[in-house]
Structure 1
Amino acid sequence: MAVARSLNFTRAAEELHIAQPSLSYTIQQLEKTIGVPLFNRTTRATELTPDGAILFDEAHAVLDRYDAAMERMAQVARGELGRLRVGYLIGAAVDHVPAILRAFADDYPDIQLDLIEYDFSTPNGGLDTGDTDVAIVRPPLDDVPDVITATLLRERCFACLPTQHHYAARPSVTVADLLDESIVAAPGTGAWRDSWILADQRQAPPDITYEAATFEAELQAVAVDRGISIVPETAPRIYARPGVTFVPIADMSDCTVAVARRPDAPQAAANFAETAHRIVRDANLAR
């Protein structure tokens, strides 16, 4: 390529930082290999032969494609190109998720987002099974080693009670008030479910009367007096309905919503996490 561009063996050798005889020998070997002369050489000038011009054009196209491929790989490494699998737990940052997705699409238009919704039976948001790269979840997570987690927001916890419940008119309740109540729980087992049925506060197993995988099913079960449930502040704000009352739990720690990514996730997952954190932060500052 250097000889074809300059049509001068001496200048091409200087450009390549090799001796001119070595370059001449290399060109001769190439011509021998492909079976046609590439240059017409005289004492006064060097010119491409017609066959040499064809090879030059083809080689130039190959190098252009190589450069383009390397740039695309650099974009992948920077998290600007490719596919990203995003999980989200129902109700987690539900009022922020649309803005997060819009902002990410604006900042990274060449990333294909695959969105996967998870209910309370799969609170890890696909991170434990490898079905997602990054997820918006409510910790704690079960069996997701080395997951990289950043808190997006904190919410108060509420008791969700039937409207006729004897605690329904109270301004607040305590954890101790709720321990003897029948309770609606998420399906399955593990730290996530245990956190929502107050397992660490109990001396005996809870009386679980119903299992619900969604807010809709959970609140419906409470409304028909199957038991009480523990919910984040999202529930009274987004999912309130007739038949249930929400009472703050005064001495229960806030729950959190986080963006979590696998340690082997592509760079695009880290970019998504940064976008999510920025959007939620800016929304909170604007309030």
Structure 2
Amino acid sequence: MNLSDNKIFNNNKSETRNIFVETHFGKPNIFIALLKEFFLAFAIYGSSFIEVFLRKRFGERYMSISHPIITTILIFYFGGYFAKLLRARNGFSFLLIFILIYLGLSIKHRMEISKYGTTYDFKRFSLSHGEIAPFWYKIIGKRIFGVKINEYTVKVVLEPALAFLVGSILLFFSFSRLVGGILIFSAICFAIKNFTQAQLGRNWVLDIIDDKICSELNYDLFIERKPSQETKGIYLPIELPEEEETRRMLYNAFNQSMGIEEDIWVNDELDD
């Protein structure tokens, strides 16, 4: 499942804001966007090794049985290379036990979803990445080393750190070294995925704020030509026409192209 498919985090951006964004930063780089999509998809599959252990109550459309099947096939295919890299000996028996538990938990999560059937009752977000374990809520709101713990801290730092710690301990034993390496790799992917999800949510909120700012300050930019310190940082890096009447015409033409209703006060002033 791709995070960018999530309409909550990939809303249709305002055309008004897009114009100002392109003015400030240029059009988005398609290659960079595709690269981000690739790494995000990679992180989603990689994080599944620990996600099924740390989370519960996944969304119907997020928890797919194809994820553990694909990742299991990849692990067995590349397992020999990982074993050589980590100098793991006789670790395949322990790996097999880990994979069986991993597959068992994945099937369990999927069966919990399936037993309720496909429902349209608005009781559960179908793209949910799961809920954190109950014990995390005991430390949320408290301070650790001066840092206040919230759900963001748990998902981006503490959950991956716990898996990383367990993986690091397993690296000390030759029979479990292969599984330890997998857990460390999965912990890194888990942190990347959770951080990306948080950034997408943050950008969604900022998009709404920027949309409101851009919509409110069109008049100040086009008609009054106010500097950026008076328009909350927005500016047009061009020299607008000196004639106010021309600027008013540009203002209304811009609003029409964006599907925004014309300013009746501007039109009345033009008629006068």
Q: Is the pair's TM-score, using the shorter chain for normalization, greater than 0.5?
A: no
Higher strand share: 1
Higher helix share: 2
For the pair shown, which has the larger CA radius of gyration, 1 or 2?
1
Q: TM-score, normalised by structure 1?
A: 0.28
